[in-house]
Each structure stands twice: as C-alpha cells, then as structure tokens.
A and B are shown apart, each in its own frame.
Chain A
C-alpha cells in the first residue's frame, strides 16, 4: 500500500496502461449494463453497440462519409484559429511578460476572460460578424487566446532573474536579454500553453458550430440531437474526444522533441 500513496512513485509503463484501460473498460461495461438493463430508455442512453453502429453509419453511408467531411471541416477551423492564436498570443504574451507597464495596461482586458464565459460573446459575434466562417474562427480564436496570453506571460515571468542579470552584465541590450536569455528558457512552458489552448479550442468547437454550420462535428451532433438520434450524438462526442486526445498527444510528443533538455533537469 505504501506505493499506492506516494505522489512521487513512477509506475512501469505496462501497469500504467493496464490501469488506464481498466478504468475505460469499467465505464464501458457499466454503460453497457445500464443500457441493457432497460432501466433507461435508449432515447436517453443508447447502448454501446448502437453507438458503434451509428458511428459506422456516419463514417460510410450512401457512398459518402459524413463523419470524414465533418471532421475535416472542424479540424480546419481549429487549425485556422490555432495559427492565429499562436501568431497573436505568443508575441503578445512575451511582450506582456517582458514589460510590467504593458502587462498592467493589458492584463485587466485579458485575464478576466479566463473565468468569464466567452460563450456568452457568441450572440455578439454573430451580430458583428454574421454567421459565416469568420465568426466561427473568431470565436475559437477569442476563446483560446485569452488562455494562451496569460500563460505565455507567466512563462516569461517564471524565468529566474539571474538569466536576465547575467545577460545584462555581458552587455546585452534589454531586448537582447529577452530574446537570448529569457524567451529560450520559457519556450517549454510557452509550448505547454499552446497545447492547452488548442485543447480549449476542441472544447469550443461544438459551440462555434452551433450557429448555422452547414458542416462540422458540432453541426453533426446538433443535427442528430434535433432528430433525437442519441446514438449519433454519442458517436459525434466520442470522435471529438478522440481528436482532441490525438492532437494533445501529438503536440506533447512534438514538444518533447523540440525541448529535450526540459525533462533532463
């Protein structure tokens, strides 16, 4: 039992995977048992088999794949917004982290939105930007950038001052200190921020596609709900979760490759 209550214990990979799969399997079994028991109507809780069938139907029906089309559209929106979030959020966060004045000026405009409901802005965005792609990408962008900017700023401020002083002493200009001594050391944490913001975008995609999406995973779920096709709703949600997970793991792996020195500390 001493190993169970030790926050620093490292499990062997095999055991970790077995436990993780066990947890998922347990929920699947519970789900299957509940739906098979007949206590809950299939309209509210479809069986795992029905969801699987719905998945198959969405994946290939009538010579086309609704699921693939929807996934590509949603992924494209996330990617588009993701590029914008990084292009704006990283430089802005670095500037705010580097300048106490700029931070004092901008943080009251950005920080509250981490806890405020960005979703509530959707009607305003619709009024301003219409119901097309611009609105959807802008919504995803806003939802994620308010997370990324403070995280980048915090990453900059977390770099020990000794690095700044050391570079300053060597004759670096303030900007050279930031560029050569501070930002490189903050990069792994900035990458963490990017990973979190992309994950946030996957959680917002259904909301973004709620309004007038002709195609997309959010639209697919919304449509299925309208026709009370609960099995398709479940399948759609599962696909979004899987995509978010794949994106997350891929970005994590990429980050470890980019900054191998971070884990060696």
Chain B
C-alpha cells in the first residue's frame, strides 16, 4: 500500500465526463510471480518463474513471447479473472495502484482473441453491454450512456452498422465491437490478449492503426500480449520479451519512434536491428513454441 497510489475511489466516483478528459495514471506491479500447473502424470509444470515487471500509464506495453509461454496467463492474473480452477498465481503478488489484485476488479478491461460478442444483440447493444450490469448502471447515468456508445461507434468506424448483428460483420469488425465495448468504460488499464491474432494480415494492420489512434485519444495503460514480432514493433512503446517454459523476462526495451509506424519504418535499420535483437534473444532461451514475423 506504500506505492504512490492515485486515489482509486475518487476516480470511481468521478463523473464520467471528467474521466474522459483525463485518465488517472495507473501502475501495475508484478512481483516474483510463479505459476505452476499440475501435470496429468503427477508433479508440476512451472510455466512462469520468479517474474517481476512494472507497467505504468500511459503506454502500450507489448508482452512478446512464443505461443504457450504463459503470457496470457500473466494477463489473466492482471485482469483478476481465473479461467482455470487453479490458484493463480502460485506465488508472488500483483499490485494495481498499490492494491493487491486477487479477484475480478474494475480498473481494467480485457479484450480477447476470440471476441465474446453477444450474437443476439445489435452492434450498438454489444457496445452498451456493460450498462446492463449493475456496476456500470450505478456509475454511469442513463442520460450519458447513449452518447458514450455513439462516440465509441464513431471512433471504431461502426456508426453505420449500429443496428446490425455481429454475425453480419467481419472478424475485424467484431474485434472493433470488442474494442469499443472495452473503451466505452474509459478504463485506466486495457489488457489485450492477442486481440488481432485471428485476423488476416490486412485487417490486422487496420486494427493496429486504429488501436494507436484510440490510445492517443484515451491514453490508458495497455498491456498487449502477442506472439507477433512485427506487431510488437509497430505498437509498442515498450517491448517485454518472454522466454518459454518457464517464462522469464528475456529482454525489455523501449521504442521511442513516434507512432503510427508503418511498413516503411519496419525496413529501416533501427527496426531491423530491434527485430534481430528479439529473435536472437528468443533463440538464446531456446524454448519451444513459435513467434511470427510478418514483414
């Protein structure tokens, strides 16, 4: 509790309009996180080993690692949701703004690779879905909800599709719904779990550009999990490279090149050097699993 904590309760109580204008800075501290899962044949698999990290707003932090290295597990811990019936983490602590994070909390919103849109609701109602929950009904007055939804639909370019259902939209547009639903709450922390991983290359590029724009408008703390080296370079203010089995921090650096970064920048010596650096780090740790490079 000793960390310089912004007054969370004040942010919660603050009217939405104020929250939209300025985002209270957020800080996530992971301290010596260990995660073990029982093996079916007995014993345990240590997938995360004594991992310590700190993230502060406003920035896009890329958690880059091979598939299956435990980076999504880390993200779920930060989100406070537990998909498995196991204890997460096995040991270590996660603090958000100085408060321990051990259950679902409302500082952060997650965006998943497999979009969880309600197929029976319109695009508009999907973006407004949080307002069906008591938590957000209590916090955001009825009169403000429509404007907030419309603003987000505009921001993600779905205003004209507001009345359609998710199944009438493409995969990329479905992820736009998910982004809009997350950002309509103006969260201080956005946790993204390979959100563009299932999209084709062209759509992915569009979504990456969109995310940079949205982050400029709403500069929250983003932790973005990916196994795509190119994506990490394009989006990251900071890139944390994780080794696999168990996950440890293999590399951690900042990229100061202004965004949006495009394909041209990826071919510049700076980007090529960073890419080589990441790939060689991953080779050194010689884990299993794959990363993707799409240049």
Asked if B135 is at the interface (CB within 8 A of a chain A CB), the reply is: yes
| A256 on the B face (CB < 8 A) | no
B187 to chain A: closest residue by CB: A170
Residue of B118, B130, B165 with highest tally of chain A CB at under 10 A: B118
Cβ of B120 within 8 Å of any chain A Cβ, yes or no, is: yes
Task: State whether the Cβ of A115 lies closer than 8 Å to any Cβ in chain B.
Answer: no
In the assembled complex, A185 has its CB within 8 A of some CB on chain B:
yes
Given contacts A170-B133, A176-B134, contact A185 B118 (CB under 8 A): yes
Cross-chain contact B81 with A265 (CB below 8 angstroms): no
Q: Which of A146-183 contact B (CB under 8 A)?
A: 160-163, 165-173, 176, 180-181
With a CB–CB cut-off of 8 A, which chain A residues contact B168?
Answer: 264
Q: How far is the CA of A160 from the CA of B130 in the complex (A)?
A: 19
A172 to chain B, nearest CB (A): 5
Q: Does any Cβ of B come within 8 Å of A259's Cβ?
A: yes
Interface size for chain B: under 10, 10 to 19, 20 to 34, or 35 or more residues?
Answer: 20 to 34
Residues on A with C-beta less than 8 A from B58 are none
Stretch from B33-41, B104-112, B148-156, B243-251 forming part of the interface with A: B104-112
Judged by a CB distance under 8 angstroms, whether B161 is at the interface is: no
The 0/1 profile, CB within 8 Å of A marked 1, for residues 137-157 of chain B is 000000000000000000000
CA distance in complex: A99, B80 (Å): 21
Is B260 among interface residues, defined by CB-CB distance under 8 A? no
**Contact (Cβ within 8 A) A161 B118:** no
Which label, helix, strand, loop or mixed, suits the secondary structure of the A interface?
A: helix
What chain B residues lie within 8 Å of A161 (beta carbons)? Answer: 83
A187 to chain B, nearest CB (A): 7
CB–CB A165/B81 < 8 A: yes
Distance of B235 from chain A, by nearest CB (Å): 21
Are the CB atoms of A261 and B116 closer together than 8 Å? no
Partner of A180, one of B104, B106, B114, B129: B129
Chain B residues within 8 Å of A185, by CB: 118-120
Interface status of A130 (Cβ within 8 A of chain B): no
A171-B104 CB under 8 A given contacts A259-B120, A264-B168, A265-B119: yes
Contacts of B132 in A (CB 8 A): 176, 180
Check A181/B81 contact, CB under 8 A, given A166-B112, A261-B165, A264-B167. Answer: no
Is A170 a contact of B130 with CB atoms below 8 Å? yes
* B79: Cβ under 8 A from any A Cβ: yes
CB atoms of B120 and A261 under 8 A apart? yes
Shortest Cβ distance from residue A5 to the other chain B in the assembled complex, whole angstroms: 30
* B55 contacts partner chain A, Cβ-Cβ < 8 Å: no
Are the CB atoms of A162 and B116 closer together than 8 Å?
yes
Chain B residues whose C-beta falls within 8 Å of the C-beta of A176 in the assembled complex: 132-134
* Chain B CB within 10 A, most for which of A169, A171, A181, A187: A169
Q: Which of A118-152 contact B (CB under 8 A)?
A: none
- Give 1 or 0 for each of B90-133: 1 = CB within 8 Å of chain A CB: 00000000000000101011101010101111000000011011
Q: Which residues of A contact B136 (CB under 8 A)?
A: 170-171
A219, B127: Cα distance in complex, Å: 56
CA–CA, A171 to B181, complex, Å? 13
A119 → chain B closest CB, angstroms? 38
CB distance from A170 to the nearest CB of B (A): 5
User: Is A160 in contact with B114, judged by CB distance below 8 angstroms?
Assistant: yes
Residue of A180, A259, A265 touching B133 (CB-CB under 8 A): A180
**CA A251 – CA B119 in complex, angstroms?**
21
A56 interface residue per 8 A CB criterion: no
Contact with A along B35-79 (1 / 0, CB 8 A): 000000000000000000000000000000000000000000001
Contact A187 B120 (CB under 8 A): yes
Question: In the docked arrangement, what's the CA distance between A171 and B108, Å?
Answer: 10
Q: Is A184 in contact with chain B by the CB < 8 A criterion?
A: yes
Complex interface: chain B residues within 8 A of A166 (CB): 110, 112, 116
Task: Output the least CB separation between A80 and chain B (Å).
Answer: 30
B104 x A169 contact (CB < 8 A) = yes
Identify which of residues 171-192 in chain B touch chain A, using a CB-to-CB cut-off of 8 Å. Answer: 181, 185
State whether A264 and B165 are in contact (beta carbons under 8 Å apart), knowing that A165-B83, A185-B120 are contacts in the complex: yes
Render A31-49 as a binary contact track against B, CB cut-off 8 A, 1 for contact.
Answer: 0000000000000000000
Min CB gap A82→B, angstroms = 24
Given known A171-B130, A259-B120, A265-B167, contact A162–B112 (CB-CB < 8 A):
yes
* Contact of A184 with B120 in the complex, beta carbons under 8 Å: yes
List the B side residues contacting A187 at CB < 8 Å: 120
Q: What are 7 A-B pairs with beta-carbon distances under 8 A?
A: A160-B114, A163-B116, A165-B83, A169-B104, A170-B130, A184-B121, A264-B168
9 new A-B contacts at CB < 8 Å, known A160-B114, A262-B119? A160-B116, A168-B104, A171-B135, A176-B133, A181-B116, A184-B121, A261-B165, A264-B167, A264-B168
Interface residues of B (CB under 8 A from A): 79-81, 83, 104, 106, 108-110, 112, 114, 116, 118-121, 129-130, 132-136, 165, 167-168, 181, 185
- Residues of chain A having any CB pair with chain B under 8 Å: 160-163, 165-173, 176, 180-181, 184-185, 187, 259, 261-262, 264-265
Report, nearest first, the 4 A-B pairs whose CB atoms are least far apart.
A166-B116, A171-B135, A264-B167, A169-B110
